[in-house]
Structure 1
Amino acid sequence: MQAEKNYYEILKVDVNATEEQIRKAYRLLVREHHPDVSKHPAAAEIFRDIQEAYEVLGDPEQRRVYDRLRESQGLDKSSALSLHATVSHKYLLTGVEEQALYVLLDLAPASDLPTSRLPLNLCLVLDRSTSMQGMRLQQVKEGTRQIIDRLNPEDALSLVVFSDRAEVLLPGQRNIDKAMAKSIASTIQPSGGTEMLQGLVAGLQELERNRTKDSVNHLILLTDGQTYGDEAECLEKAEWAGRHQISLTTMGIGSDWNENLLDQMASVSGGTSVYIDSPRKVVDVFKETIRNLSTVVARELTMTINPASGVTLKEIFQVTPYIHHLEVRANKVVLGPLGSGHDKALLMEFRVAQETNPGQKRLARLTVDGDVPGQSNRRSWEWVEIFAEFVPKLEGNLEIPPTIITALGKLAIFKMQEKAMIDLENGRISAATQRLETMATRLLNLGETELARAALLEAGRLARTGDLSAEGRKKIRYGTRSLSILPKEIHGD
């Protein structure tokens, strides 16, 4: 008896089915799926599951034990999450030393999950150093006012500014006086240097004071400069935030800020980093961020990867809503919050060791777990198993699904950008230049003309001067990261 298997689904009967209904369903399925009759490659496995399900559900005492076991583990509830896996190869060869298998996993809220808005616990941590004066600070103030206008009475807001030191202008509170809050934001004046850590610490303290069991806890950090000497501590605080259900959106405006640091801080907290190349875009970025936060239905998602013996995970990338490398620690990956209408897609590369015996084999189980506030009648986790059929010879239509080909193509461009930057850091100017030129060609093939032009311009600059411009480096990095796999490409709509 395996509680995680849904025997009712296997026999295609309702949980309240009578003994006679179970018997009839079993007989129909046996006739359809018996290995002597069925041509399905997994007929033997399906038949075993049918037999196992009937042995339990056909015995009233075993059925009662099974039902109680599933109830105690929450397995009788439907999941708040939806997982759909697409594999690159349904068939693998026996006797081959090692084979690659790609898995594209689409993660979304369940289609019937209610989408009531969760209360926000939001802190804005804004750089007010001297370099922010003028249009940058004006637009940041306007963006802040736009966020304030979009808050509900149950939302909490705090406002922190930093330069050489941090100052809490608006302590965290709910049902804020919006006119007062906007007036406070308008008083921000530029001065001093950039010491990010102090602002980050003050912001996290405000969020801790205002968290509730159902709140979406989020910190928006915006800067236009380099923080000096406190990078390691900033990253440690971001990791702490991720462990305490606080995600970060890190925003860099202009070209003189540390994209590696902001990227890492966002990633370890389950958030995202944003490149703002013009002050005119600040307001739109702020509005988009608050819109996304308002759709969150699940928090602190993590995925556990359990590969079978002989199977190893080589790497994993998120490919929607944007591309970035995911770090695996103790078989777990931090995925952050999930919003309604904002699916996540993950692309994994597995390496499968030699298999001598033909037949179907389970290669991995992927389990996504999180916190879904206000949905006590739903499971907060879901899992999917990855299978492949080992055969001595490949026959028939064995094309790789177009969704995986598309994902791999865009991911290859993103990786090419990363390798070009590594070549540059190690003094391999010619190799970096060649990668940028090749990348530009591939971008043109995708119709990404503006990004292709930027790559070609930087390739020329690199060949002439031996370096990239700070602006060009960021434009290429964040531009290739935005080559996400659209939901319609995932679902094949």
Structure 2
Amino acid sequence: MSINLTYGLSDSQLDSHQGSSQRQLAIAISATADANSNAPLNLCLVLDHSGSMGGSPLDTVKRAAQDLLAQMSDRDRISVIGFDHKASVVVENQNVDRLESIKSKIQSLRASGGTCIDDGIKLGLQESSKGKNGTVSQIFVLTDGENEHGDNERCFQFSRLATEYNMTLHSLGFGDSWNQDVLERIADAGGGSMGYIPTPEVAGSEFQRLLRRVKAIGLTNAHLILQVAPHVRLAELKPIAQVAPDTIELSYQTEGDAIIVRLGDLMTDVERVVLLNLYISPAAYVQQYPDRADIPILTAQVRYDVPSLAQVNSLSNPVAIAAELVQDHSPQTDPKIQTHILALAKYRQTQLAEQKLQQGDRVGAATMLQSAAQTALQMGDYKGSTILQNNATRLQTGTTLSEGDRKQTRIAAKTTLQSLT
């Protein structure tokens, strides 16, 4: 297993006379495909079985969890945590080699009590840690409600702790009563994705989608290491974001003169695309190096673990990124990078719409959702555009957005949805 790293600038040329120019740099990273080299999966299911999950919801979740087992190999490991207002171990961490016993324990879950998500996550971390050596550790947290008996800040703390122990945490919202702000923050802090199960019938397909994603992981604990040239700086406000496969505002740390961005898991079939907002000073560089035809931007490198080989802190070859210096610059935007820029714009426009809606500004919210719909259309996200435009229209006609509408909006903001057929 090794790293694929490609990049592109929003405009690969810079005017040599200009004092400061803004550019967006997209860096796409994935693991190379290498047959039979993926590590076993260490999967923990943290399942809400509170009273509101009674009947069809819990039945379909149990069936979806049991169906996952058929897609796993004997090398993989499984554990299951159940939670209501407290959490308990339903299936201890073990190899997936006693299917009927594991299925029987999952089937034993009964709906009762309230909801304490943080206790479920905490116990999930403890159980997952028993099987984390030499595996790809993933935690799926499913809930249908508010964290009424818990503490949301503890959820976020446990999610961040998961990444420190090289585990990834994904959140799944079932029905329409869960809090999208909380589940998004859980997934973002845990390095995973947020999913939405609007009806019981969708539970199986959503579990399978996540399973396909995590089974494609080849490398873990990846960090993007950037050495920025002296005449280049990051934008002051929100300079780094992931724009694929999900949109996430990313934080960064510094180690000496290096900028470190945590990426987490790297898949073999899906690129993680990081978008940087940069300010470059060509004129100052030309003063110092008048004979150069290009201008260095930064050097990018990835530090990562290879769980299948028990290797940690491997380093990819450094990639030097530069732009061409020209005297008569005519802007030429890279269409692929423009799509990444639009993905981030769509997410931020939708966030603004939600803020305005919370403030009671329905007109402002509708305007921002309409802008997000147009942005989605520009980038070819036709299904996302339809969802965003429909919700903008509802607000414009005086209709209150349902909880389902708001959750669809959040999912449409974070990713590119499949086209309508």
TM-score clears 0.5: yes
Deviations 1:230-270 (A, max 9, x none): 00011001111101001011111112112222222222222
- Is 1:350 aligned to 2:270, yes or no? no
The answer to whether 1:332 aligns with 2:267 is: no
Instruction: Give, in whole Å, the separation in 2 of the partners of 1:480 and 1:311.
Output: 30
Task: Report if the CA contact (8 A) 2:383-2:417 is conserved.
Answer: no
Task: Tell me the equivalent position of 1:167.
Answer: 88
Task: Select which of 316, 330, 339 maps to 2:240.
Answer: 316
How much does 1:472 deviate? 1.1
2:295 alignment partner, SS class:
strand
Matched with 2:303 is 369
Specify which of 95, 105, 121 is matched with residue 42 of structure 2.
121
Structure 1: tracts of 5 or more residues without a match: 1-78, 487-493
In 1, Cα distance between the equivalents of 2:182 and 2:374?
30
Tell me which amino acid in the other structure corresponds to 1:226: E
State the match for 2:353 in structure 1. 420
Map of 1:223 onto structure 2:
143
Give how far 1:438 is off.
3.1
CA 1:225–1:257: 2 relative to 1, 3 Å: same
Closer/same/farther in 2, CA of residues 298 and 380 from structure 1, 3 Å limit: farther
Counterpart in 2 of 1:100? 22
Deviation at 1:202, TM superposition (A): 1.0
1:194-224 CA-partner distances (Å, limit 9, x unpaired):
1111111111110112221x21111111001
How much does 1:448 deviate? 5.0
Secondary structure of 1:179 counterpart: helix
Give the Cα–Cα distance (whole angstroms) in 2 for the partners of residues 377 and 442 of structure 1.
42
Tell me what 1:240 maps to: 161
Distance across 2 between alignment mates of 1:241 and 1:259: 20
C-alpha change, 1:260 and 1:310, in structure 2 (3 Å) is farther
Structure-2 residue corresponding to 1:183: 104
CA distance in 1, matches of 2:17, 2:78: 60
Indicate conservation of the 8 Å contact 2:90/2:105, yes or no. Answer: yes
Q: % of aligned pairs identical?
A: 26
Which position in structure 2 is the counterpart of 1:429? Answer: 362
Q: 1:280 aligned to 2:201?
A: yes
Question: In 1, distance between residues paired with 2:141 and 2:147?
Answer: 13
More strand by share: 2
Shift of 1:177: 1.1
For 1:364, give the aligned amino acid: L
* Structure 2: unaligned runs, 5 residues or longer: none
Give the aligned residue type for 2:119.
Q
Aligned to 1:399: 332
- Greater C-alpha radius of gyration: 1
Which structure has more relative contact order (CA 8 Å, sep 6+)? It is 2
Q: 1:351 to 1:334 in 2, by over 3 A?
A: same
2-structure distance, mates of 1:209, 1:450 = 41
Q: Which position in structure 1 is the counterpart of 2:3?
A: 81
8 Å CA contact 2:82, 2:120 repeated in 1: yes
CA distance 1:387–1:269, change in 2 (3 Å): same
Q: Is the 8 A contact 1:316 1:326 kept in 2?
A: yes
Supply the AA of the counterpart residue of 1:158: S
Structure-2 change in CA distance of 1:429 and 1:288 (3 Å): closer
CA distance in 2, matches of 1:82, 1:376: 20
Mapped contact 2:137–2:167 kept (Cα < 8 A)? yes
Given candidates 213, 216, 233, the residue that maps to 1:295 is: 216
* Partner deviation per Cα, 1:11-50 (whole Å, 9 max, x = no partner): xxxxxxxxxxxxxxxxxxxxxxxxxxxxxxxxxxxxxxxx
Question: Which segment drifts farther, 139-148 or 331-340?
Answer: 331-340
* Aligned equivalents of 1:219, 1:254: Cα separation in 2: 20
1:390 aligned onto 2:314: no
Change (3 A) 1:449 1:94: closer
Distance 1:146 1:175, change over 3 A: closer
Name the SS of the counterpart of 2:307 in structure 1: coil
Q: So what's the TM-score if we normalise by structure 1?
A: 0.76
How far apart are the structure 2 equivalents of 1:255 and 1:376? 41
The AA in structure 2 aligned to 1:205 is Q
Bigger shift: residues 141-150 or 447-456: 447-456
CA contact (8 A) 1:126 1:222 kept: yes
Q: Offset of 1:125 from its aligned partner?
A: 0.5
Cα–Cα, structure 1 residues 199 and 479, in superposed 2: closer, same or farther, change >3 Å?
same
Query: Once the two structures are superposed, what CA deviation does each residue of 1:409-458 show, in whole Å capped at 9, x if it has no partner?
Result: 33322221112112223443322221222333444566655544433443
- Which deviates more, 426-435 or 152-161? 426-435
Deviation at 1:324, TM superposition (A): 2.5
- Give the letter aligned to residue 241 of structure 2: F
1:305-355 Cα deviation digits (max 9, x unpaired): 222223222322222222222222332222111122222222222112352
Between stretches 443-452 and 426-435, larger displacement belongs to 443-452
The secondary structure found in structure 2 opposite 1:271 is strand
